[in-house]
Homo-oligomer: A and B are copies of this chain.
Amino acid sequence: MKRPLILVTNDDGMFAPGIKNLVNVAKKLGDLVVVAPDSPQSAKGHGVTMSVPIRLNKVDVFGPDIEAYECTGTPVDCVKLAKHVLLKERQIDLCLSGINHGSNASINIIYSGTMSAAMEASIEGIPSIGFSLLDYSFEADFKGASHYAELITSHVIKHGIKDCNLLNVNFPKLPLDKIKGIRVCRQAEGRWIEDFTEGLDPRNRKYYWLTGQFTIDDRGEDTDIHALSEGYVSIVPSMHDLTKYAAINSNQLMEKLG
């Protein structure tokens, strides 16, 4: 069987340990092209760069055998450039994004550059997986994450993703032998309670700096947050159709307006 062509990207930038670990996993399973931002792009959401030009530079970060480019744009820009410029003549079989330093479970999928890159590829019809580890540290232990990223990726290469084109995978912050397994779940309902640090800058102007705590009211046992808290890897099959179908009929009264 032909080795699949795998596009690897992330939002923490080309020099983050997470993408290095993901490249080490992915190169066992396919031929890689890496296109990643040249600087950290966390929490950039599904941003796209339109008002300024962007650049691509070929770099030797992962050794001479792996074609890698750093991009001056967002994670979504990386995917667009890969699909429509760099790999225009080739078929991308799979897109892997991450391994993100920090959780993208629950509603964090919405803010996440890692998941937006994966979603962008999925919109293009490319099966895509975003991987995130619940540890912000650049010294994080990626052994568990790498082990399960390999299992999940090989499964997807063999069997595809059923009824879906996008997986949001999160790894608990645990040593490999403490991870209990994998659970396929739904996205937990949660939100950030923001707490802005206020201060005065050197020119005596007031500033606000975002901090905040993530909070979960959702007590369901079928969520990603619950699976992670129990020591499992969480997989949420995800999509870009934001329609709330259940609410279409109940709001049809609005058609009578005017």
A residues with a Cβ closer than 8 A to B are: 40, 42-56, 76-77, 80-81, 83-85, 107, 109-111, 116, 119, 123-124, 147-148, 151-152, 155, 159, 161-164, 166-168, 181-187, 189, 191-196, 198-199, 201, 205-210, 235-248, 250-255, 257-258
| Nearest CB in chain B: distance from A68 CB, A | 17
Cα–Cα, bound, A205→B159 (Å): 43
Q: A162-B253, A164-B250 are in contact. List 18 more A-B contacts (CB 8 A).
A: A40-B51, A42-B50, A43-B50, A44-B47, A45-B48, A48-B111, A53-B208, A54-B208, A85-B198, A110-B119, A152-B254, A159-B253, A161-B247, A163-B250, A186-B243, A237-B248, A238-B243, A238-B244
Query: Are the CB atoms of A186 and B248 closer together than 8 Å?
Result: yes
Q: Decide: A208 near B55, CB < 8 A? Known: A162-B250, A163-B246.
A: yes
Residue among B155, B251, B252 making CB contact with A257, cutoff 8 Å: B155
Cα–Cα, bound, A236→B193 (Å): 27
- This protein's copies in its complex: 2
Q: Decide: A123 near B155, CB < 8 A? Known: A53-B207, A252-B184.
A: no
| Nearest CB in chain B: distance from A110 CB, A | 5
Residue among B85, B111, B183 making CB contact with A208, cutoff 8 Å: B85
Closest 5 CB pairs of A and B: A45-B46, A45-B45, A237-B247, A164-B247, A53-B207
Cα–Cα, bound, A149→B50 (Å): 28
Query: Are the CB atoms of B110 and A207 closer together than 8 Å?
Result: no
Find the residue from A54, A110, A250 having the highest chain B CB count within 10 A.
Answer: A110
Find the residue from A44, A48, A183, A254 having the highest chain B CB count within 10 A.
Answer: A254
Q: Can you offer 9 A-B residue contacts whose CB atoms are under 8 A? A: A45-B116, A46-B111, A53-B201, A53-B208, A53-B209, A56-B206, A84-B193, A85-B208, A235-B251
